[in-house]
Amino acid sequence: MSVRIRIELARLYLRLLSSKNWVLRWRGLVLYVPRGVFTPRFTISTDLLVESLEDLGKRVLDLGCGCGAIALYVAKHFDVEAVGYDPNPLCVAVARINAKLNNITNVVFTANRRRVARNEFDTVIVNPPYLPVEPLKNEDYGWCCGIDGRTLIDVLTFARRISTKRTSVYFAVSSLTPPKLMHVIAEKLGFRPELVNAKRTPLDTVYVYRLRLH
C-alpha cells in the first residue's frame, strides 16, 4: 500500500472518530470529547507520549492540548503545575469542562499564546498534526500539517521560544511524515532529537522523540 493511500486512510479514520460526541474513560480520567476534537482513545500517539515521560520537573505545558487529556493526566499523577494551550477556543472550553469533571485544580487551560510565551517550562509535550497533506475540512487541522510541514514548523518554533537548556520537549510524529522533516526542523532550531518510544499501527509507526537544546 502506497504512503499516499495510507495517509488518506489515516485522514478518513480520524475524521470518523471526530464525527461524534464521546464521553469516555482514558487512564483514570473521564473525558468529554465533542465532534471535531481529537480523541485520545482509539489512537496511539497520546498513550505513547504519556508512557514516554520522565523527570517532568515542576512546570509542564501540553502544547496543542485538544480535550486536555495529557495536561490532566500529568496534573493528576505528578506533582506539577500543568498548563494546556490550544489555539482553538472550543478545545480550551472542553478541556476546562474535563478539569471540572475530574476535580483537577492544578491545571490551567488557555488559548492566549502570548500568555504562554511569557513562561518557561521544564517539560513541553506535543501531539501535533503530522499528516503531510493539506487540510480539506475544518477538522483536518487537528491532524494535517500541510505538505510543507508548516504546522510542525510553527509548533516546534514555539516550543523553542519557551525552552531552556533544561527543558525536555516530547514530540510525537508518524512514519507517514517525511522522515527527515522533523529532524531538519528540530536541528535548525537548535534541538537534539532522541528517539524514546515507538509503536506500529496498521497504517504507520508512531514515534516519540525527546528534544533538548544543544
pLDDT digits (tens, 9 = 90+) for 2-39: 999 999 999 999 999 999 999 999 999 999 999 999 99
Q: How sure is the predictor about 201, in pLDDT bands with cuts at 50, 70 and 90? A: very high
Name the residue with higher pLDDT: 211 or 179: 211
Q: What is the CATH number of the domain that holds 126?
A: 3.40.50.150
Q: Are 24 and 37 in contact (CB under 8 A)?
A: no
pLDDT tens digits for 75-122? 999 989 999 999 999 999 999 999 999 999 999 999 999 999 999 999
Grid coordinates in use for 118? 511569557
Strands (E), the chain: 22-26, 29-33, 59-63, 81-85, 107-110, 123-126, 168-174, 191-200, 205-213
Q: How many domains is the chain built from?
A: 1
Span 128-174, pLDDT tens digits: 999 999 999 988 999 999 999 999 999 999 999 999 999 999 999 99
Banded model confidence at residue 1, pLDDT cuts 50, 70, 90: confident
* Range of the structural domain that residue 85 is part of: 3-213
pLDDT at 130: 94
